[in-house]
């Protein structure tokens, strides 16, 4: 339930390639097509969280990577309270993160940081994402070990 009392029912359709989101208050239905599903049939899952720290509930669709399954790939959807729709959180292209997608996402609500972790070669990388004053996602820091 959103802080404005909206409730949503989210379900997968079309073999996990489409999300159907129904607003129980307005009865509006939103369809999100072309989800990033596993090409090796690994199951997709939903996770509920506030990924942009605005007090509204967002969600993510995730599955383990199609390689060795060492990390989890996330596609994040942010609730827009103005139009009461969910919008895909675009991976920022104007930064140089170590992970080229959202992987193994952790949400730190106290610091308002999203952490994305991945493996590249023999190293593990962690990208720290935060929101600037204009509510745009920016890369705050990258660590490799």
Residue 9, sorted as left (phi over 0), alpha (psi -120 to 50) or beta, turns out to be beta
- Integer CA distances (angstroms), 35 to 15, 88, 106, in order: 10, 10, 21
* 122 is a domain residue: yes
Counting the structural domains of the chain, the total is 1
- pLDDT tier for residue 17 given thresholds of 50, 70 and 90: confident
Phi, psi of 82 (to 5 degrees): -70, -50
**Mean pLDDT to the nearest integer, 23-48:** 81
Q: What value does the mean pLDDT of the chain take?
A: 86
* 134 is a domain residue: yes
| Distance in angstroms (rounded) separating the CA atoms of residues 53 and 57 | 9
| Distance in angstroms (rounded) separating the CA atoms of residues 13 and 33 | 9
* 99 is a domain residue: yes
| Global confidence as pTM | 0.86
* 1 is a domain residue: no
**Mean pLDDT to the nearest integer, 64-78:** 83
* 86 is a domain residue: yes
* 109 is a domain residue: yes
Pull the structure tokens for residue 52. Answer: 């942009």
pLDDT of residue 27: 85
Query: Is the confidence at residue 23, as pLDDT, over 90?
Result: no
Give the residue from 140, 66, 134 showing the smallest Cα distance to 103: 66
Q: What is the domain range of residue 54?
A: 8-144
**Mean pLDDT to the nearest integer, 116-134:** 90
* 61 is a domain residue: yes
Give the residue from 34, 28, 23 showing the smallest Cα distance to 12: 34
Pull the structure tokens for residue 19. Answer: 């999300």
Query: Is the confidence at residue 84, as pLDDT, over 80?
Result: yes
* 3 is a domain residue: no
Is-contact 45 63, C-beta < 8 A? yes
Is-contact 46 59, C-beta < 8 A? yes
């Amino acid at each position: 339930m959103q802080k404005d009392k909206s409730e949503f029912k989210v379900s997968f359709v079309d073999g996990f390639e489409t999300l159907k989101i129904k607003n129980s208050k307005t009865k509006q239905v939103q369809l999100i097509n072309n989800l990033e599903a596993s090409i090796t049939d690994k199951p997709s899952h939903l996770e509920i969280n506030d990924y942009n720290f605005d007090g509204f509930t967002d969600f993510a669709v995730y599955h383990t990577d199609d390689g060795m399954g060492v990390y989890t790939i996330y596609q994040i959807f942010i609730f827009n309270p103005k139009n009461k729709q969910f919008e895909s959180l675009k991976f920022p292209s104007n930064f140089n993160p170590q992970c080229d997608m959202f992987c193994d996402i952790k949400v730190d609500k106290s610091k308002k940081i999203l952490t994305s972790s991945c493996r590249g070669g023999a190293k593990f990388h962690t990208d720290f994402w935060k929101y600037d004053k204009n509510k745009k996602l920016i890369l705050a820091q990258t660590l490799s070990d």
